[in-house]
Chains A and B, each alone.
Chain A
Amino acid sequence: MDSLPDAIVQYILSHTSNAKDVASCTCVSKRWKDSIPYLRSLYFPRNLNDKLTGGDTTDNIVKQMVSSMCQLEELVVYCPFTSVGLASWLSLTGPSLRYLELRMDNLVEQQPCTDKPSKLDCIGAARNLESLKLWGVLMIHSPKWLEWLEVQGCSWIRVPETQCLRNLSIANNSGRVYMVDFGKLAALDFLSIRGVQWCWEAISKMLQLANEVDSRFVIHCLEETVITVRSPLNAEQKMNTLESLVKYGRNLKKMTIRILDMKSSHSSADDFFQEICRFRCLNRKIVSIE
């Protein structure tokens, strides 16, 4: 490899991204060390802090490595970090960074209260960021130029600045999605929502937002759905949601409404049940009640 010109060595080494391999490369030779600043992508694995001794913190490890890069475009951090650490990395890489992915496992320590500065407030320093991917996150002030957002495993999602957002995916494979709140999704052209359980409020909000984007909005892929009804509270919103699902789900073949533990002592429950029955009569072909 010593026979290769500098530019090719740099090009080859720019294809390593795991921080551990990068560290190893700096020790190979002087020329290899001099190639490291041209890396475009850095990845810090989750287990980075497992064997840390002495005064080393993951914050400092990332900072030290990021500081030796001159054109870092992609930064992926799966090990724990603090907001101070993140702010320091972003002030170092700032304008060159285009892709940022963070796993924020210390969510538990961070109480969801809005008056405390969030871990991510400093993201504004990465002013050319095109893509932000967050795992298990609490985010309070999102960058308003964001075009592509993928949220996984969150129950409460609020993004007020959404005018540039074109691509939005929300997925939660382990828990329930309780609430979503977005600003106007004027630029949206791709929407994906997945998950085990979505609450009424969240799903009705998503349907309403999608319809505001484009009145011709249709959910092509939805063929089968199971809806659980537990109480007659917010009956009107629930009925609206059911009607919307039938309206937008052009290819919907089967909708099962499961009514669980609904106390029939309330007159509101009877009214609601009647509403549901009427809804079933109107859409006899696809709707069934269990």
Chain B
Amino acid sequence: MASAPENEKNASAPEKKTLTLKSMINNEEFVVDEHVALQSVTIKNMVDSDCAGDVIPVPTISGEILALVIEYCKNHANPSASEDDLKKADAGIVAKDIYTLIDLVLAANFLDIKGLLEVTSQKIADSIKDLPHQDVREIFGVENDYTPEEEAAVRAEHDWAFEGFP
């Protein structure tokens, strides 16, 4: 008698639809609930236009990065998560080295997940804070394409900002 309502509930619950995302870099596959994956506008467009097969290939994104993206989507698809919880979870996801963050920004851009693009970009921008430009170049792997004269001229424009810097 007691178990009857439970059976009924199970019977009427619709089967959860899932999608499989496959990293084309290392062929790693991830089975994800559809509503989680649909936070990516790119995947949503594919599903909406019936272009998505059983397995959705994701080019240029490694399994490691894809796992982070899916973690983000799962957190944000959870309707009971408070804003505070999400903030903490986001901070955990972007607490990575700069190379991972750069891959993550590219993935967020490709998959069109606005929130992830935003938090990752902010994290990268924050790590520029208070650094001399020479250090920025080194840490971010940016090639200096200024001639020494050009660089001196640009620097002179903002002379006030370089107090205490080499």
- Which of A's residues lie within 8 Å of B, judged by CB? 1-4, 8, 11-16, 18-21, 23-33, 48, 51-52, 56, 61, 64-65
Contact = CB atoms under 8 A, between A and B. Distances in A.
Interface in B124-166: 124-126, 128-133, 136-137, 140-146, 151, 154-155, 157-163, 165
A28 B105 contact: no
Given A13-B125, A24-B128, A52-B160, 11 more contacts: A1-B142, A3-B102, A8-B109, A11-B121, A20-B130, A23-B158, A28-B136, A29-B142, A30-B146, A32-B142, A64-B158
B136 A51 contact: no
14 contacts: A1-B142, A2-B141, A2-B142, A2-B143, A4-B102, A8-B106, A12-B121, A13-B125, A15-B122, A19-B161, A20-B130, A28-B137, A29-B142, A52-B160
B121 A51 contact: no
Nearest to B119: A15
B68 interface: no
B47 interface: no
Contacts of A31: 145
Interface residues of B, number: 36
B117 interface: yes
A3 B99 CA distance: 11
A215 B120 CA distance: 48
Contact of A12 (B124, B141, B151): B124
Given A11-B121, A15-B122, A25 B146 contact: no
A26 B102 contact: no
A47 B150 CA distance: 28
Given A1-B142, A30-B146, A61 B105 contact: no
Specify the main secondary structure of chain A where it touches its partner.
helix
Given A23-B162, A28-B137, A4 B142 contact: no
Given A8-B106, A25-B136, A51 B155 contact: no
Given A4-B105, A16-B125, A28-B133, A56 B142 contact: no
Interface in B93-119: 102, 105-106, 109, 117
Contacts of B162: 23-24
B122 to A, nearest CB: 5
B162 to A, nearest CB: 7
Contact of A15 (B121, B144, B158, B160): B121
Contact of A24 (B117, B121, B122, B161): B161
Contacts of B137: 28-29
A27 B162 CA distance: 11
B157 A4 contact: no
A27 B105 contact: no
Nearest to A18: B129
Nearest to B125: A15
B132 A24 contact: yes
A158 B127 CA distance: 43
Contacts of B142: 1-2, 28-29, 32
B125 A27 contact: no
A20 B133 CA distance: 11
B154 A33 contact: yes
Given A2-B142, A16-B128, A25 B102 contact: no
Nearest to B137: A28
